[in-house]
Amino acid sequence: MTEKLYDISGRIKDFDCLVLRCDLSDGKYLIETDKTAFFPESAGQCGDTGTIGDAVITDTVYDGDRIVHISGSPLEVGKRYSARLDYAPRYRRMQNHTGEHIVSSVMHRRFGFSNVGFHIGEREMTFDFDGVITPEQMKEVEDEANEISAKNVAVKAYYPSESALAALDYRSKGELDGRVRIVEIEGVDLCACCAPHVERTGEVGMIKILGFIHYKGGIRIRMKCGFDALDDFRNRISREERISRLLCVPQEETADAVASLSSALVQAKREFSEAKKRLAEAIAAGIDSPDKNVCIAVDGFATDDLRYLCNLCAEKCRVFAALSETDGGFSVVCVSRKVPLRQYAKIICEKGKGKCGGSDLMLTGRLAAGKETLIGIFEEEII
């Protein structure tokens, strides 16, 4: 059984270990050692990475009861190696995990809700509760959690005896078997947890709830703590600076500027649509060829605009088609009240190099042939 150095302290990052097993499985080496500071993926927290000797450890997992380090390189069984943990990402995970314990303890004490799900991902941490609170209550939870962080109280982990454990009132995510490890935040929380934590709450730094949603009858919280919260804040500032430069307004006015830009865009779209309708009506007014097939190309028309134009011209020609150039081809609408159109869809698709379909009264499609070819098809092939 591997000795868990991360149980003794979350600060251990360099250690020596003896390789007990090194098995090849699916092209990866599974390395078991007499002791390790690498935390294996469990309790919602991903496995640690680092090096053992020259072998780069890309993950650490449980294989049954065994802790195995995963590497692309083998190590010699029976030999001792120096090992080093990738400590910066692990420290961030500890900040987040202890932050989660603090928030969960506040939620439990204030509202009686339990943490029923937890995951520390690459980008952020999520955790779930079996009850719902309001945004105002969430702000109070966040304030209290940050006060606990600022008080810098001790965080301790230990395995109580069975009788001592029976006397403890601690939180846990479910039925526990084997020895129970308690993580205690002094005067704040007792929780069953196997993961490494920071040693004092001050190390958690800022606890920032990014948002929460209703989830399975309760809520799911998104949160970042410590250096992850700092990075998030930096990224938000740089995005806000960019938006501020793009809109030419001070940063505190960006939201108002986006709102007025958005309503100006809605107005511009409405005016553009009206202008296209007037253009369609002007085009239709100039068309009067009841016995001829007419096909015209119009710039900037979407399929709906082409359909509007075609309906205006349906009675004015034998066949009327309108095209508008879009990304690498043409949107096409064709109407007729005199020729059943559906029988021509196949030849239009073949010669027009695209897709086209609809009813005997109207065909719509996207065709990749050139403009002159398409005009030729609609004016000469539909007989």
Positions that interact with Zn ion (CB under 5 A): 193
Q: Which is nearer to Zn ion, 141 or 191 (CB)?
A: 191
Q: Which is nearer to Zn ion, 193 or 294 (CB)?
A: 193
Shortest distance (Å) from residue 11 CB to Zn ion: 17
Q: Which is nearer to Zn ion, 193 or 310 (CB)?
A: 193
Shortest distance (Å) from residue 218 CB to Zn ion: 18
Q: Which is nearer to Zn ion, 181 or 353 (CB)?
A: 181
Shortest distance (Å) from residue 131 CB to Zn ion: 19
Distance CA 278, CA 272 (A): 10
Greatest CA separation for the chain:
100
- What is the DSSP code string of 331-358? EEEEE-SSS--GGGHHHHHHHHTEEEEE
Q: Which is nearer to Zn ion, 181 or 351 (CB)?
A: 181
Q: Give the CB-side neighbour count of residue 213, counting CA atoms within 13 A.
A: 4
Shortest distance (Å) from residue 256 CB to Zn ion: 42
* Total number of residues shown for the chain: 383
The residue whose Cβ lies closest to Zn ion is: 193
Q: Which is nearer to Zn ion, 9 or 25 (CB)?
A: 9
Query: What are phi and psi for residue 125, nearest 5 degrees?
Result: -105, 140
Q: Which is nearer to Zn ion, 52 or 193 (CB)?
A: 193
Q: Is 358 left (phi over 0), alpha (psi -120 to 50) or beta?
A: left
**DSSP assignment letter at 187:** T
Shortest distance (Å) from residue 255 CB to Zn ion: 37
Shortest distance (Å) from residue 199 CB to Zn ion: 15
Distance CA 288, CA 94 (A): 77
Shortest distance (Å) from residue 195 CB to Zn ion: 5
The residues, any chain, with a CB within 8 Å of residue 106's CB and separated by 6 or more, are 141, 144, 145, 148
- Report CA-CA distances (Å) from 297 to 286, 288, 300, 383: 14, 17, 10, 21
Q: Which is nearer to Zn ion, 133 or 193 (CB)?
A: 193
Three-state secondary structure readout of 1-58: CCEEHHHHCCCCCEEEEEEEEEEEECCEEEEEECEECCCCCECCECCCCEEECCEEEE
Shortest distance (Å) from residue 104 CB to Zn ion: 8
